[in-house]
Amino acid sequence: MSKRIAVLTGGGDCPGLNPAIRGCVMRGLDEGFEFVGLQEGWRGFVEGKTQPLGLAEVKEIVGKGGTILGTSRTNPFKKEGAVDKCLATFKSLKLDALVAMGGEDTLGVAARFHKEHKLPVVGVPKTMDNDLSATDYTFGFDTATTIAVDAVERLRDTGRSHRRIMVLEVMGRHAGWVALFTAIASAADWVLLPERKSDIKAMCAHLKKVHDRDKVALVVTSEAVELPGAKKEGEQLDQFGHMLLKNRGVGEQVAELIEKGTGIETRSAVIGHIQRGGSPTLFDRILGTRVGAKAAELVAAGKFGQMVALRGNDVVGVSLEEATAKLKIVPPQWLQLADTFFK
C-alpha cells in the first residue's frame, strides 16, 4: 500500500526551499509515495489547509525563490487546542509521515511532536542564518550572503563618491554568520556580531584611519547586535519567544554612533527581506535538492525523529532532538580570521 506523506515549510522563507520540496517529492515518487502539501507551515497542520503536491507541481520549481507551500511562524504548542487539531489533521488526511522543513523553531516543534506524540516526523534544516549546530551548512545561507556581498560592493561605490562611511545591516537573529561571511567576502572594514561585545571606540578609530586613506569605509552589522545605550522599550515577542527585530533600527543606530565618533558623514542601508527572496544560488539548489531527497529516503527507511544534516560532503540522518538542542554561533577562531582583514 502506498504511503501518504505531508510536507510543510515553516518560519522565515529562504532560497532553497522549493528545491528541497522538489527533491523530497521526486525521490519519494521512486518509492511509490503520494504527497500532500500543508499550507503556511504549522498553521496549515492546525487548520488542515492542504494543496496538491505531485510531479506537476514540483517539476520546474528548482530555480524559484520562496516556498510554493507558503509559510508562517505558528507554534501549535503555544495555542490552546492546536496540538490536538494537528493530530486530528494527521489522522483525517490518512498520513503515514510528515516532512517538516524549517529552522530551529519549526524543527523544535517537529521534535516535540515526535517525542511527546510519537508522530512519524523527519526534519529538513532550513535557515539563512546557518545557525543549526548539527549540520555544516543550511540552504538559504549561501544565497542570502551572496546578495549581501553584492549590496556592500554597491555601497562602496556610492560611499567613495560622497566620501562617506557606509553601514549595511543584515539579518541574523542569534548568530552572526551572515554578517561575518558578508564582511569577509566583501572586504568590509568592520563587522558587528551578536557573539561579541561591540567596541564602538575601537571601531570608530579604525574607520577614521581607513576613511582618511581610502575616502570610504564599510561596516557590516547583524540586526541582533547589542549597542551601548540602545533602547529596548516596546519590544515584542513572537510565538516562539523571540524578539521581533524589525523596529530596532540597528543599522541606523550604528551609523549615528560612527558619525558622532568620527565626525564623518555616515549612511546606513538595510537589506532586510531582499536576502530571503529571489532565485537560489547553485550551492543552495544542490544542497536543497540533496537534503529533500534524503528526507524521503529516511521516511522510506522508517527512520523517524531524525533531521537531514550535511556533514562534509555527505547528507546523513541525525537525531532531531539533538539537532535542535543548541544553536551554532560564530566561534572565536572565525572572529580572529575576520579581524585579520580589518587593516
Rounded CA separation 174/156 (Å): 27
| CA angle, 12 then 301 then 85, to 5° | 50
SS3 for 96-120 is: CEEEEEECHHHHHHHHHHHHHHCCC
The sign one gets for the Cα dihedral 155, 220, 148, 339 is positive
User: What nine digits make up the cell of 76?
Assistant: 501549535
Sequence length of the chain is 343
CB 104 within 8 A of CB 241: no
User: What nine digits make up the cell of 209?
Assistant: 584611519
Q: Name the catalytic one among 13, 105, 129, 131.
A: 129
Q: Residues near 9 by Cβ (< 8 Å), separated by ≥ 6?
A: 17, 21, 41, 67, 69, 70, 71, 101, 102, 106, 126
- Within 10 angstroms of residue 283's Cβ, the number of other Cβ atoms is 15
Neighbouring C-alpha atoms within 13 Å toward the C-beta of 70: 13
129 is catalytic: yes
Neighbouring C-alpha atoms within 13 Å toward the C-beta of 337: 11
User: What nine digits make up the cell of 74?
Assistant: 505558528
What residues are annotated to the active site?
Answer: 129
